[in-house]
């Protein structure tokens, strides 16, 4: 398909998506970055965030990732994520419960609570909720 490149997202356990894209937005540690056809070769670390891929048809697919890295070349983008979910497969109720648990731990810390871990759990839950809203066509 002209004007597109191979795009895939995988975790250790599974291939989450394989297809083509005209552009991809990735949550790099330096900030979100866009990738288009012909992009220079690079390896980039990813932070928890939203990956969006626009197909040549104009349709956009959204994914929640909880870190990892991406290999970018002129004709492909491969994301190897710690965890990744397509928007339409995210359980929003479960993500909301995880958010609530993390907020409770942060608001009422105890000596046995790792606050950094609770903050990371909160960030992951918020990303999952944001991305799942796209599948339900809600405003975020």
- pLDDT digit string, tens, across residues 1-52: 458 999 999 999 999 999 999 999 999 998 999 999 988 999 999 999 999 9
Same domain? For 70 and 95 the reply is no
Residue 134 gets which letter from DSSP? H
Write down the pLDDT at residue 17. 95
Same domain? For 18 and 30 the reply is yes
- Let me know if residue 73 belongs to a domain: yes
pTM above threshold 0.75 = yes
The domain of 119 spans: 90-135
Q: How many domains does the chain have?
A: 2
Same domain? For 37 and 94 the reply is no
Same domain? For 102 and 61 the reply is no
**Cα dihedral 25, 28, 32, 35 in deg (nearest 10):** -40
CATH number, domain with residue 15: 2.60.15.10
Same domain? For 19 and 81 the reply is yes
- Let me know if residue 140 belongs to a domain: no
Identify how many contiguous H helices and E strands the chain contains and give both numbers. 2, 8
């Amino acid at each position: 398909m002209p004007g597109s490149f191979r795009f895939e997202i995988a975790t250790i356990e599974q291939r989450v998506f394989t297809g083509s894209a005209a552009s991809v937005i990735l949550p790099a540690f330096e900030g979100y970055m866009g990738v288009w056809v012909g992009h220079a070769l690079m390896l980039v670390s990813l932070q928890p965030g939203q990956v969006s891929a626009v197909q040549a048809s104009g349709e956009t697919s959204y994914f929640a990732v909880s870190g990892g890295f991406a290999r970018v070349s002129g004709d492909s983008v491969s994301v190897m994520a710690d965890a990744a979910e397509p928007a339409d497969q995210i359980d929003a109720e479960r993500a909301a419960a995880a958010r609530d648990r993390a907020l409770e731990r942060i608001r009422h810390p105890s000596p046995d609570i790792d606050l950094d871990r609770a903050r990371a759990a909160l960030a992951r839950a918020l990303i999952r909720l944001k991305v799942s809203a796209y599948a339900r066509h809600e405003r975020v």
